[in-house]
Homo-oligomer: A and B are copies of this chain.
Amino acid sequence: MERPLILVSNDDSYRAPGVHHLIDRLVKLGDVVCVCPEHPQSGQSMAITVNSPLRITELESYNGTRMYHVNGTPVDCVKLAMHHILTRRPALVATGINHGSNAAINVLYSGTMGAAMEGAAFGIPSIGFSLTDHSWDADFSPCLRAIDVLAAAALEHGMPIDTALNVNAPAIHTEPTGMKLCVPCRGLWNDEYKEYEDPNGHKFYWLTGTFENLEPDNTQTDQWALDHGYVSVVPVGIERSASPAPAVDWLPAAVEAYNTRH
């Protein structure tokens, strides 16, 4: 029987250690092809390149995985993979592991989640994985078992239409407390810009800020889960409509499987 095809992408570029950790886990489950941005694309959301040409460049393979970069956004990577790189339809789109949290409101801006949502727009089961640590040499071990469990379950059971999973792991150096099915935490960014003055006396601004959790006592949020050492899982509807999206029927069992395999 043919092994399932898994498309991997991210927003931190093909050089990021996070994507290599993701590939290392997924090669056990299927044939992996990796198409990442040539340059870092953090904060690119579901942006697409409409006014300039895109190129696909094949790179040296990694751990049995064909590697490509594209001079565009994470969504460009998924679109070009689907139309011009892959020779069969993937059974799973997995993105990340992002260097940094995509919990709470970050999901709106995340290029890693943008790529996962593009996978869902193609009707493919899609999961974005993130670690709440921005550093290049972060310890990705808190993510790894979550990848195994969720990727295997998504390959076996599929996903409801128009739904992707946003999976975040806490930056801790022990095994996570468990995995928790969550809602996105309400919150906002404060002090979003640092203000500077250039040598000519003109102001300029650089994005920064601190996240404020507007519901710190809500134990159902992804931010609460991460703060308490859990891996958070949030089903994300891509339609962006205010109507209900279907539940992921296999997910409670996958969460339970994760939590009982300690």
Contact = CB atoms under 8 A, between A and B. Distances in A.
A76 B192 CA distance: 10
A240 to B, nearest CB: 5
A207 B48 contact: yes
Contacts of A243: 183, 244-245
Top 7 closest pairs, chain A to chain B, by CB:
A242-B245, A235-B242, A45-B46, A244-B244, A45-B45, A47-B47, A53-B204
Interface in A62-115: 73, 75-76, 79-80, 83-84, 105, 107-109, 114
A240 B240 contact: yes
B204 A55 contact: yes
Nearest to A39: B51
Contact of A50 (B79, B121, B184, B207): B207
A202 B55 contact: yes
Contacts of A205: 53-56, 80, 84
A2 interface: no
A40 interface: yes
A234 interface: yes
